[in-house]
Structure 1
Amino acid sequence: MARHTFARTALAALSAATLFALGACSSEPPSSGDDTGSGDGGDELISVGFSQVGAESGWRSANTMSIKDALTEENGFELSFSDAQQKQENQISAIRNYIAQGVDVIAFSPVVETGWDPVLEEAKAAGIPVVLTDRAVETTIEDAYVSFIGSDFVEEGRRSGEWAVEQYDGEGYKVVELQGTTGSAPAIDRQQGFADAIAGSDLEIIDSQTGDFTRDGGKKVMEGFLTAHDDIDLVFAHNDDMGLGAVEAIEAAGMKPGEDIKIITIDGVKDGMQALADGKFNYIVECNPLLGPDLAEIIKATVAGEPVEERIVTHDEAFDQEAAKEALPDRQY
């Protein structure tokens, strides 16, 4: 089974102008369960079924808000939204429900990479185009989706590892890794990118476990790392929330995060950026969650029968402490 992997490309012209156009995203978690748009179902509205991973992190909350803000009746959409609560079976059920409803377009951010072929085949048979956001899938279905919008997760891991090598190679650093949800695209790719980047250096990954992208998970796994190892120099967390959980565990153990144990994370949400500005994190590679405007443009183009890019890679920055201090006042998420 060949996994869909695409070269890094520039943003599609039709969506580049809108990527950062959203107003501030709320840090409040979205409501769980189904939240069906109240549009009148008129022909002028494009009906969209969207299945979200869940509300496991500040990043996900900002991503959900971006999508809901973009896919409004005022913008020409009738949105049916579901929260899968990080369960693939919930997403598959929601997608099948959207197929039964006969929506114009289905979009989703998959919990994991594999196991989607049957439902993607069903959507294809129903003639409903699918758009992936944030995460990729592994599929054998030809033309299973029209576009995939999101960051390059391998690149995020690579940039994290390259910075670690630049800063700490030659010091024999022992690294622990807080992985994202097992089987998810960002967890697989960020791990790969980081490992590739530190290969040939004297940085050594001595332990690696999943914290499921949650703050509580990151804290619990970090507590276990600290119990099992007395020589940890650096934490590589696949997202800010797990890194923030690690901060709590390190402080509870009587050490200073960012000094006694360095921390590199991915995402760039406000809480993470604040931790970086405060010196508790050391480096963040951004993963931009504001995908709503891109998704809206791709859906409109698809329904209009216009060509769309198969892979759209969002633009992400990277931050050290000074860059975080400069960015925080205007941070949108």
Structure 2
Amino acid sequence: MTNSRFVLPTTALLLAAALTGCGQEGDGSTPAGGNPGTNSAKGGKPTVCLVMKSLGNEYFQTMQKGAEEHAAKRGDLTLHSSGIQNETDIDGQITAINRCITDRAAALVVAPADSRALVAPLGRAAKAGLKIVNIDVKLDDGALKSAGLDIPFVGPDNQEGARLSGAALAKALGTGGKVVILEGNPGAANAQQRKAGFVAAAAAGGLTVVDSKTAHWETDEAYTVVSNLLTTHPDLQGVLASNDSMALGAVKAISAAGKKGKVKIASFDNIEAIRPYVKDGNVVATVDQFAAQQAGDGIDQAMKALAGEKLQPWVKTDLKVVTASDLG
């Protein structure tokens, strides 16, 4: 688990960019001689690429660490993991996927920044012979069908997780509570699913959703968005944040407006940086979707595919609502 800082230092961001360019092996070493494909990786082990979203987000730092530990424990593959510098860097993910193709990786595990825009480059990867597993953010079914791709998904029920988190906020505020929704990237399926879950929770709990805005999963953008919303809606009582990074921006904006304790937040991800705010009650709930487990399960599915096994369309991973009582 990473530490509680939610913004990486500049040097760490530069490292993240470097990883996008060259990859990082799960066992801590790099094969000599260039291409890390199935036959040229150490001992003939297959190379599995893990392409994630922003490594400036603690959630994906945790995912990367878990993936590396899982690959090392398995011992039968070479892992190359990479991420992008911000949540909207779709071109960075496309570059990483293209590098996996050029490097002749055997398999690719991807958490896409956009559910449609990544389908075409993944189609090129599939045509090049890579086995592909989709984790975390579901690729768009219509886009996959149009591209003739059948890519299995490993991940949670995002809509249900958001509904559970939103229900905790509804319980805390009571009927009639005025809330806003902080959405993730509009092109990401999990952003749409979490918004739907929050809307369902608000309807069931009698909350009034006065606005819904995207902050693209980012802390700084969420700070600006929530600051503006607090001005527009001075009687605001709650924020439904689609991830913890945005929740952290909301916490900062609420505090700056002098409304700490008066505006409650429900969130999603359970990163370490959010836990102090869960403990003190400013965040009534977050949802653990077990980032390390998702990556490990994705790697396992990729290895099954390489062994010729038929994969399930959806391997559903765990969710757990986390409240102050869970953190002691």
Quick one: which amino acid aligns to residue 310 of structure 1? Answer: P
- For residues 268 and 131 of structure 1, do their structure 2 counterparts lie closer, same or farther at Cα, with a shift above 3 Å needed? same
Matching residue of 2:138: 136
Kindly indicate whether residue 159 of structure 2 is the aligned counterpart of residue 154 of structure 1.
yes
Q: Residue in 2 aligned with 1:61? A: 61
**Alignment correspondent of 2:279:** 277
Q: What percent identity do the matched residue pairs reach?
A: 25
Say what the alpha-carbon RMSD is for the aligned residues: 2.2
Aligned pair 1:127/2:119, yes or no? Answer: no
Q: CA deviation at 1:25?
A: 5.0
> How far does residue 261 in structure 1 lie from its aligned partner after superposition?
0.8
Q: Secondary structure at the match of 2:283?
A: coil
Q: Alignment partner of 1:282: what SS? A: strand
Say if 1:285 and 1:117 are closer, same or farther in 2 by CA, change over 3 A.
closer
Cα distance change on mapping 1:74 and 1:285 into 2, 3 Å: closer
Instruction: Say which SS state the counterpart of residue 130 (structure 1) adopts.
Output: strand
CA contact (8 A) 1:48 1:77 kept: yes
CA drift at 1:132: 1.0
Q: Quick check: 1:92 aligned with 2:94? A: yes
Separation of aligned partners in 1, 2:4 and 2:277? 16
CA–CA separation in structure 1 for the residues paired with 2:316 and 2:73: 27
Q: Is the 8 A contact 1:288 1:315 kept in 2?
A: yes
Instruction: Measure, in 2, the Cα distance between the counterparts of 1:60 and 1:275.
Output: 20
Question: Using the alignment, how far apart are the partners of 1:48 and 1:163 within structure 2?
Answer: 39
Q: What code does the residue aligned with 2:63 have?
A: N
Change (3 A) 1:90 1:35: same
The answer as to 2:44 corresponding to 1:44 is yes
Residue 289 of structure 2 corresponds to 287
Count of residue pairs brought into register by the alignment: 298
The answer to whether the Cα contact below 8 Å between 2:202 and 2:209 also exists between their aligned partners in 1 is: no
Q: Could you say if the C-alpha distance between residues 94 and 144 of structure 1 is closer, same or farther in structure 2, counting changes exceeding 3 Å?
A: farther
1:212 aligned onto 2:212? no
1:73 Cα deviation after fit: 9.1
Higher helix fraction (1 or 2): 2
Task: Provide Cα deviations, 1:58-111, integer angstroms capped at 9, x if missing partner.
Answer: 212111221232234972222333323331122122212222222110121100
Structure 2: which 5+ residue stretches go unaligned?
33-40
The 2-side partners of 1:42 and 1:111 are apart by: 31
Of 229, 233, 246, the residue aligned with 1:242 is: 246
Unpaired runs of 5+ residues, structure 1, are 1-23, 326-333
| Structure 1 residue 200: Cα displacement | 5.3
TM-score (norm: length of structure 2):
0.83
Structure 1 residues 316 and 165: CA distance shift in structure 2, 3 A: same
Whole-angstrom distance in 1 between the partners of 2:46 and 2:82? 17
The amino acid across from 2:307 in the alignment is A
User: Does structure 2 conserve the Cα–Cα contact (< 8 Å) formed by 1:92 and 1:119?
Assistant: yes
User: Residue 48 of structure 2 contacts residue 299 of structure 2 at CA under 8 Å; is this kept in 1?
Assistant: no
Change (3 A) 1:84 1:77: same
What is residue 308 of structure 1 aligned with on the other side? Answer: 311
Q: Is the 8 A contact 1:68 1:292 kept in 2?
A: no
